[in-house]
Chain A
Amino acid sequence: MNSTNELTSFDFINSFSDNNKDFVLSMIDVFLEQTPNELSNMEEALHNEDWIKLSKSAHTLVTSVKFMGIFTIVDDLKSIENNCKDGVNLDEVPDTFLKVKSTCIDAIEELELKKKLF
């Protein structure tokens, strides 16, 4: 989806909102506010091996990252969601989560920069 090395893309929300700049900015704000909380929730759930909670958090986050164009971790989040829900391949979950977390942190930095350029 991204033509450059950028992690994030506004293609979808631009098209969704007919290039409504205010809307895109507000979406970035919500993402910046919500994502660290969601990552903490996931980290806590992983630590407590609360797989159901982890599955639900992954489900919530997958929609947000899709809308921000962060497609590189969509499949990872889906695998966390499904594995935790079904109780399978749980040994893979910590590594996958680390990848998700790291990508999200990079995406947050990138979005903060992009926001300043708006």
Chain B
Amino acid sequence: MGTKSSFKIFAVEDDPVFAKMLQYVLTLDPEHEVKIFGTAMDLLDNLHHKPSLVTIDYSLPDMEGEELLKRIKYQYAEVPVIVISGQERIKTAVKLLKSGAYDYITKDEDIRERLLNSINNAKKNIKLANEVEILREELSVKFDFDKTIIGNSPVIKKVFRMLEKAVNTNITVSINGETGTGKELVAKAVHFNSARKNKPFIPVNIAAIPSTLLESELFGYEKGAFTGANSRRVGKFEEANKGTIFLDEIGEMDINLQAKLLRVIQERELVRIGGNEVVKLDVRIITATHRDMAEEVKKGNFREDLYYRLLGLPIFLPPLRDRQNDVLIICKFFIDQFCKDNKMDKIVLSPDAQQKILQYSWPGNIRELKAVTELSCVMCDGEKITSEDIQFNNLNKEVDLLSQEMTLKEYTFKIVRNYLKKYDDNVLLVADKLNVGKSTIYRYLKEMEEENFQLR
């Protein structure tokens, strides 16, 4: 597609007068590098030089414009071809545009403006297409496995092996894992490392869409299908055609809709609500849930046939607490990422901070780790994160209590201390809540003081 600095235009025109005019008008923009060819064969012989745009005369001595257009499109489908013709035949124009011509321009008085407008529009489209291509490349890099899933633990290595299998085939993938384990990230990694990477990745969070709207959201609807359906709308499945649909929180899907989903998956086609047209589908399905789906089937909340249809290649994402030292590797990754994004100097983790991170159970998994890490980067002195800079959120305090290895007495002290804090040091209320006598509370307080246990 030409060099970065030039926009290469190849024009084929047998009439020397018109060729001269084309040369003149096309070179008005210094960015354009223009080559004029007298015959269709001359142009075809030079197509390997990859023009950014081609203009062709409809009537050439050695080939009709329509045939030439087909041959160009066969070799370089993405190159815009503008057909310039002495004829004003609407049928010809429509036919050529249907065959892939970018524009059809007649040799009239306003040809200069029309041609330049058309070329400028084509350039804008090419620029947009290039930007999309660059963004796609960036996405692919972003979702490289080694950038998406970090860790060396045996459990995560098993996930890597499953991912490799997932990207090399079109098999349905079902991801299971606690909240915050990175299910969507894994789904994206599968898509952007697969043969479908240049096609759409459409995520749908089943839990976030009211069940009454989910059907139309997934399968689309025709104009007039229901009150408020003012125009046709394609559903998420159609949007994802040739690409991947990611059905997050699949376990939350209403049992009635499950039957419709099953049919779509089995038939690989759908009919929009209120319509008759059958739409063929070529969609890869990736599902995710935090639920035990086999258990949901037993309970009757999820159809067994659909469960097996969607099971495909199951990938279990282990919780962070089972990933041993991965937590430190991921934490350091988040620190480096945060420093880079915020143009900060490198920050390290002190040994006591590392200990604190390793001892915690991370009920919110990687999502929580990221939030805690970013906060500690802000709270620290800018060079080193200490244990005091690491703050866990209130939601998980109880779990935090159990995650640390302590003696029974230490656990007791901690419980008493938390209750006193919660009930504004009201010993009577705390004793009542813990179902012990007030003297027991006073005794613990005395012991805590004697053993120098931190009261706050």
Could you list which residues of chain A lie within 8 angstroms of chain B, going by C-beta atoms? 12-13, 15-17, 20, 23, 26-27, 30-31, 33-34, 56, 59-64, 66-68
Contact = CB atoms under 8 A, between A and B. Distances in A.
Interface of B: 14-18, 20-21, 24-25, 59, 61, 86, 107, 109, 111-112
A17 B20 CA distance: 12
14 contacts: A12-B109, A15-B109, A16-B21, A16-B24, A20-B24, A26-B20, A27-B20, A30-B20, A34-B16, A60-B15, A63-B86, A64-B18, A66-B107, A67-B17
Nearest to A67: B17
Given A16-B112, A56-B61, A64 B25 contact: no
Contacts of A62: 86
Contact of A27 (B17, B25, B61, B109): B17
B144 to A, nearest CB: 53
A17 B24 CA distance: 8
A67 B86 contact: no
Nearest to A53: B61
Contacts of A12: 109
B23 to A, nearest CB: 10
Contacts of B17: 27, 30-31, 34, 63-64, 67-68
A60 B24 contact: no
Contacts of A64: 15, 17-18
Residues of B contacting A: mostly: helix
A67 B18 contact: yes
A64 B25 CA distance: 16
Nearest to B60: A56
A16 B61 CA distance: 26
Contacts of B59: 56, 59
Contacts of A15: 109
A60 B86 CA distance: 9
B18 A63 contact: yes
A26 B17 CA distance: 9
Contacts of B111: 16
A67 B14 contact: no
A30 B111 CA distance: 19
Nearest to A26: B20
Contacts of A30: 16-17, 20
Given A16-B24, A23-B24, 13 more contacts: A12-B109, A13-B21, A16-B25, A27-B17, A27-B20, A30-B16, A30-B17, A34-B17, A56-B59, A62-B86, A63-B15, A67-B18, A68-B17
Contacts of A66: 107
A56 B64 CA distance: 11
Contacts of A23: 24
Contacts of A67: 17-18, 21
Contacts of A60: 14-15
B179 to A, nearest CB: 67
A109 B7 CA distance: 40
Q: Which of A12, A13, A20, A59 has the most CB of B within 10 A?
A: A59
A23 to B, nearest CB: 6
Nearest to B113: A16
Going nearest first, the 8 A-B pairs with the smallest beta carbon separation are: A64-B17, A60-B15, A34-B16, A63-B18, A30-B16, A30-B20, A59-B59, A63-B107
B220 to A, nearest CB: 48
Nearest to A68: B17
B56 to A, nearest CB: 14
B27 to A, nearest CB: 11
Nearest to B107: A63
Nearest to B24: A23
A30 B13 CA distance: 14
A64 to B, nearest CB: 4
A25 B17 CA distance: 12
A60 B20 CA distance: 13
Contacts of B16: 30, 33-34
A26 B27 CA distance: 15
Nearest to A82: B87
Contacts of B15: 34, 60-61, 63-64
A67 B25 CA distance: 14
A76 to B, nearest CB: 14
A108 B111 CA distance: 25
Contacts of A27: 17, 20-21
Nearest to A55: B59
A15 B25 CA distance: 12
A70 B20 CA distance: 18
A17 B15 CA distance: 18
Nearest to A37: B16
A62 B16 CA distance: 12
Nearest to A60: B15
B16 to A, nearest CB: 5
A71 to B, nearest CB: 11
A68 B17 CA distance: 10
A5 B61 CA distance: 35
A65 to B, nearest CB: 9
B14 to A, nearest CB: 6
Contacts of B21: 13, 16, 27, 67
Nearest to B18: A63
A61 B86 CA distance: 11
